Amino acid sequence: MLLARSRLGLLLLGALLTFLLYLLLPAAQHEQRLAGSRPDEGKQGRQAANATARTGMAAGEPPVFYREVSAGPQASGAASPGRPAVLFLHGQAFTSKTWEALGTLALLAGEGYRAVAIDLPGYGDSPPAEMTATAQGRVAFLDHVLQELGMRRPVLVSPSMSGRFALPFLLARGDRLAGFVPVAPVGTKDYAAEQYRRVQTPTLILYGDRDASLGPQSLQSLRHLPGHRVAVVPDAGHACYLDKPEDFHRALLGFLCQLK
């Protein structure tokens, strides 16, 4: 009887140890992967930690909420010499906060770029603006934003819904942009191939390979831009910057580095 109880005790102790190992080993492996297999993420985290976030409301009418992140020697908000400023618009379900949360603003600031994201009228902290009801009004709106924020020939990043603002501005004021990065924007079919062919702005066309609608649809129109290149983000949907931020950032930085 005593021997049977001893064996039972040993069996229970072994089962308990096995259960504890089952709980602890995956956590240890997860920590090891985070610490050792992705050094770029650590670098990006350090950049974000050292960054200074600044928000404000651009003066004039309409008022526009913006946020920018500057790091290191760029704390004043100025870009390094020879590097363009970058202005981020957003999709319908998002705001300027998206680019801060992804670390995009901090990453670019760490590379010496002035990176600014705005809330489009009626989104986030920007009030609605009647002037944006027409394409001409949306061009005037972006003119106003660039003037108030002191951004001379920036690179314009335009995902999804914001194509309603960026595309008419590109066609009317392309010479005021150092570069254009459309991310599966809406409204590309509203313009003819000949209109696109007149644009000389360097362009990076970005979309996710799992975006079966706006990605390839916008490419059919945007491929008429003379100075374009295409980057397809693997295993990513319509908001490819959310699905694969590292791949998105790599493509964006590669494009920015090649601009003169």
Active-site residue set = 160, 211, 238
142-148: Cβ within 8 A, 24+ apart? 142/166, 142/169, 142/173, 143/169, 143/173, 144/58, 144/60, 144/61, 144/62, 144/64, 145/58, 145/64, 145/87, 145/118, 146/87, 146/176, 147/60, 148/58, 148/59, 148/60, 148/64
Which DSSP category does 133 fall into?
G
> Cα–Cα distance between 24 and 29 in angstroms, integer?
9
CA 13 to centroid of chain Cα atoms? 52
Cβ 139 vs Cβ 174: under 8 Å: no
